[in-house]
Structure 1
Amino acid sequence: MTDGTGVHVDDFRDLNDEPTNPVESKAVVSKSPTQLALARLRKDRLTMVSVYIVGFFVVAGISAPIVWWLGLIDPFTTDTDLINEYSLPIGSWGGISGDHWLGVEPGTGRDTLARMWLGTTLSLTISISATAIAMFLGVVAGIVSGAGGGWTDTIIGRIIDLTLAFPQVLMLLALATVGIAFVEEVLHVPHGNPAAAVYVVLVLGLFGWTGIARIVRGQVLTLREQEFVQAAQMIGASKFRIYFKEILPNLWAPILVTFTLMMPAFVSAEAALSYLGVGITPPTPTLGNLLTDSLRYADSVYVYFFVPAVLIALIVISFNLLGDGLRDALDPKGHR
C-alpha cells in the first residue's frame, strides 16, 4: 500500500509493533541444589542400578517377617525326607525344585530361600541399627568438637584416638561373655539370640562412630566461619540452636553418603563375627551364620555356598556404589 508519493506506508510502521513471526522467550527456571543433585544422580546409570538393587533388598527385608507370618515361607521346619544318609540334599543343585527354588539346607532339609529371605531381614536390621547408633554419636561429637573448639575439641579428639586404639573385632571377642551378660541383666534383653544381637549392635555402634565424627568435625570447622553462624552468635542464640539448627542442616550430604558407606561395612562385620562365633546362632538365620554354615559344604553343595556369598557381595557392592554415586551427585567438583 502506498500513499500518493509512491512511498510504502509500511515503511513507517511503529517500531514497537509485533513482528510477523515472534519468537517466544523461554522462561529460565531455577533449580534447587537437591533437584540438581537428583538430576546428576539420574544420569549415572551405574548408581541407578545400585539404587534398584538396594531398594529390592530393603523391600525384601521388610516383607520377610510379613510373608513368614502369613505362612507363605517356613525358614525353621526341618524335613529329613529331603536329605540323604550323608546329610546332603537329594537331587541335583542342592535340591532345587518347584517347591524349593534355591534348594534345601544340608543336614536339616530346611528351605534355603526362606532362610535367606529372613536372614536378609535380620542382617539388615543389625547393620542399620548399628549404623544409626554410630551416626548419632559421630554427628553429635563432630558438631560439638568442631563448633566448640578449645578444650572441648581436645577432649573429644583424645576420646576418638582412644576409641581407635581398641580393635573392633578383638573387643567383640574379648567382651562377648561379659557384654552379653550385661545386656541380659541391665537392659533386660531375653537370653540367647536377642541378647547376642543387641550386643553386636551396641559394640559395632559404640566403636564405629569415630570416622563420621572426624568427617563432621572437618565440615563444621568450615561452616562455623560462615556469616549465618556468626549472625546467630551475635544475636545471642544458644549453643544448642547453633549446633543443631544452624550447622546440622548443612551437613546432610556427608552424613547421607557416610551412612550408605558404613552400612555395608557392618553387614560384612556381622558375617565375619558369625564366622568367629559371636552373634546370632542357628536356627535363627542371618546372612553371616548361613555363609558360615555353608563353608562345611562348599565342596559338595555348591549352590548352598554360592547363594549367601553372592547375596552378601551384592548388598555390600550395591550400597558402596550408591554411596559413591551420592558423593558425586552431591559434590560434583570432587573426584571419584
Structure 2
Amino acid sequence: MPEPAADASSNLLAAEAALATGPARSVRALLIRRFLQHHLALVSLAVLIALGALAAAAPLVESLLAVDANQVNLLALKQAPSLAHPLGTDELGRDLLVRLLYGGQISLLVAVVTALISAVIGTIIGVIAGYYGGLLDSLLMRLTDGVIALPLLPLLIVLAAIDLSKTGLPESLVASENVSLYRIVILISLVGWTTVARLVRGATLSMKTREFVRAARGLGAGAPRIMMVHILPNVISPVIVATTLSIGNIILLESVLSFLGLGIQPPIPSWGNMLTNAQELIWDAPMLAMWPGLMIFITVIAFNFLGDGLQDALDPRAVEKA
C-alpha cells in the first residue's frame, strides 16, 4: 500500500502539471506575434545582434587587418581612414576600428552582466518581500527606498575612487588589469536592482492570492516551491522588460565613469575610456570621439526600443485586446 506522503507528493505533481497545461502555447505564440508587429523593436534587435556579432569578430578583424589593438605606432598618429585602417588610427597610432570592436565587447559585456546580476538580486528581494509580507516586507522595501534615495552618480564616483589596495583584497586581484571591470560590474549591480525589486514585489502581491497558488499551498507545497514554481514564472515579464531597459542606462553609467577616469582602465578599451582619450583631440581629430559616441548612442537607443517592444508584447492588457 502506498504511503500517504507519497500520495500527497504525487497529487501535488499531478496538480502542478495540470495547472501548467492549457493555453500556454497559444499565449506564447500571441506574444511573439505582437512583438513581430513592433517594427522598431525588430530593427533594434537586428542592430543589437549585428553589434554583438561585430564585437565578437574583433579578433578576426584584427587578424585580417594584420594589426595589434594595443600596439602603439608613433609614426601613424591620427591617420585618416585607409585600406590598412578603415576608420583611421587613434592618438597613439592604434587601429580605431579594432579598438572600437574590442571596446564594444567590454561595454556590452559589462552592461549585460550587470543587468542580469541586478535582475537576479531585485527578483529575489521582490519575491521574498511580496510573498511573506509583514515586517520582512517593510524592512526590504525600506532598504529599497534607501538605495533609491541615494544620489547614484556621486555615490558611484566615490565608490569607484576607493583604493582597493587598502581594502584587504588579495594583491593579485588588485594588480590585475581586469580589476576595474570587476569593480564597475559590482558597483552598478549593488545599486541597480531597485526597479526590478519593486516591480516583482507588486506582481507577487497579486499572484499569491490567485487560485493556483492557493491550490498548491493546500496540497502542501512549501513557500520556496510556491515562489519558484508558481509565482516566479508568472512575474518574469516585468523583469525581462526592466532588465532590457536598464542595459542602456548601465552603458551610459559605465561610459560616464570611464570618461571621468573611474571606470574601465586602459589598456582595456571601452567606449567610455575611448571618449576620455579623445576629449583633448576633439578639434584635431573629431572622429576619435564621434565613433565611440555614436556606438553608445545607437546601442542605448536600440535597447530602449527593444524594451518598449517587449513591454508592449508582454502587457496583459494588450494581450487581452489582441
User: Does residue 94 of structure 2 align to residue 100 of structure 1?
Assistant: no
Q: Contact (CA 8 Å) 1:146, 1:217: kept in 2 or not?
A: yes
Note closer, same or farther for the CA distance 1:30–1:233 as it changes in structure 2 (3 Å cut).
closer
Change (3 A) 1:233 1:182: farther
> What is the Cα deviation at residue 330 of structure 1?
1.4
Partners of 1:183 and 1:189 within 8 A in 2:
no
Cα pair 2:32 2:313 within 8 Å, conserved: yes
Contact 2:165/2:174, CA 8 A, preserved across alignment? no
Give the match for residue 195 of structure 1.
179
Please name the residue that 1:146 is paired with.
130
Counterpart check, 1:171 vs 2:165? no
1:35 and 2:20 correspond: no
**2:39 maps to which residue?**
45
Moved over 6 A (4+): none
- Gap change, CA 1:128 and 1:79, over 3 Å in 2: same
Which of 74, 80, 83 aligns to 1:80? It is: 74
Q: Take 2:152 and 2:256, find their aligned partners in 1: how far apart are those partners?
A: 12
Which region of structure 1 is more displaced relative to structure 2, 190-199 or 286-295? 190-199
Q: Secondary structure at the match of 1:301?
A: coil
- Indicate the RMSD between aligned Cα atoms, in angstroms: 2.4
Quote the Cα distance in structure 2 between the aligned partners of 1:238 and 1:77.
Answer: 59
Contact 1:122 1:285 in 2 (8 A): yes
Paired letter, 2:106:
L
Same amino acid, percent of matched pairs:
32
Query: C-alpha offsets along residues 115-158 of structure 1, whole Å, 9 cap, x if unaligned?
Result: 00000001111111211211111000000001111111011011
2:216 aligned partner: 232
Alignment: residue pair count: 297
Which position in structure 2 is the counterpart of 1:279? 263
AA paired with 1:123?
S
Asked if the contact 2:65/2:84 (under 8 Å) is kept, the reply is: no
**Deviation of 1:258 (Å):** 1.1
Taking the TM superposition and a 5 Å limit, the aligned residue runs for 1:151-300 are: 151-178=135-162, 180-181=164-165, 185=169, 189-300=173-284
User: Superposition pairs for residues 109-124 of structure 1, below 5 Å?
Assistant: 109-124=93-108
List per-residue Cα deviations over 1:57-79 (Å, max 9, x = no partner): 22223333565588855211122
Distance 1:73 1:282, change over 3 A: same
1:94-134 per-position Cα deviation (integer Å, ceiling 9, x unaligned): x100111111102x110000000000001111111211211
State TM-score, norm by structure 2.
0.85
Question: What SS is found at the alignment partner of 1:55?
Answer: helix
Give the deviation of 1:239 after TM superposition.
1.1
Distance 2:216 2:170 in 1: 42
Q: Is the contact between residue 164 and residue 210 of structure 1 (CA under 8 Å) also seen in structure 2?
A: yes
Q: Structure 2 unaligned runs (5+)?
A: 1-22
Counterpart of 1:130, as a letter, is T
**Alpha carbons 1:180, 1:195 under 8 Å: kept:** no
Work out the CA distance in 1 between the residues paired with 2:166 and 2:172: 9
Distance 2:163 2:29 in 1: 46
Aligned match of 2:58 in 64, 89, 100?
A: 64
In the alignment, the residues of structure 1 paired with residue 263 and residue 158 of structure 2 have an alpha-carbon distance, to the nearest angstrom, of 13
Alignment-derived partner of residue 132 in structure 1: 116
Please report the TM-score for the alignment, with normalisation by the length of structure 1.
0.82
Q: Which has the larger radius of gyration?
A: 1
Q: What is the one-letter code of the residue matched to 2:34?
A: R
2: CA distance, partners of 1:167 / 1:154 = 22
How far apart are residue 38 of structure 1 and its match?
A: 1.0
What amino acid maps onto 1:231 in structure 2? A
Name the structure where helix makes up a greater proportion of residues.
2
Moved more, 130-139 or 58-67: 58-67
Kept after mapping to 1: 8 A contact 2:45/2:306 = yes
Distance 1:215 1:302, change over 3 A: same
Deviations 1:293-318 (A, max 9, x none): 22212222122221111110000000
Q: Secondary structure at the match of 2:178?
A: helix
Return closer, same or farther for 1:147/1:187 CA change in 2, 3 Å cut-off: farther
Moved more, 125-134 or 201-210: 125-134
Q: Which residue of 1 aligns with 2:49?
A: 55
Aligned residues of 2:258 and 2:265 also touching (Cα < 8 A): yes
